[in-house]
Amino acid sequence: CASITAASLALADAGIPMRDLVVACAAGKVDDTVVLDLMDTEDKIGSADVPVALMPNLNAVTLLQMDGILTPEEFEKAVNLAMEGCKKIYALQKEALKTKYIAVTQEEEVEE
């Protein structure tokens, strides 16, 4: 998930036109509990992993995958948890880009 998020941010940072940023986050089931952002050890011992990628501004799901076994209720909880995580990361992506471009604009104004 981190690679999807980082690649999208790198493309936007490079000025590549995109319809929206893509952000990814995963939820999973560990010890009968649905959790957000599994650590590597949890991913290996957990019973399920649900990576989700979104283009939040377009309200589009670009990746939804499930590895393992979940009840329908657990699956819904995992997807919702991952989507909420994606939305928080998306806000950080946008803030990072805004900060960069504000700094670039200010540097250009100083040079003039």
Structure tokens at 100: 């960069």
Per-domain residue ranges of the chain: 2-111
3-class SS of residue 69:
coil
Residue 112 has pLDDT above 70, yes or no: no
pTM: 0.85
The CATH number that domain 2-111 falls under is 3.30.230.70
Q: Tell me what pLDDT residue 100 has.
A: 85
Reported as a single tens digit per residue, the pLDDT across 1-36 is 999 999 999 999 999 999 999 999 999 999 899 999
φ and ψ at 57, to 5 degrees? -65, -30
- For residues 43 and 55, is the Cβ–Cβ distance under 8 A? no
3-class SS of residue 34:
strand
Reported as a single tens digit per residue, the pLDDT across 63-106 is 999 999 999 999 999 999 999 999 999 999 999 999 988 877 77
Q: Quick one: which of 53, 74, 71, 59 has its CA closest to 8? A: 53
Percent of the chain clearing pLDDT 90 (strictly above) = 79
**What's the number of CA atoms in the CB half-sphere (13 Å) around residue 104?**
9
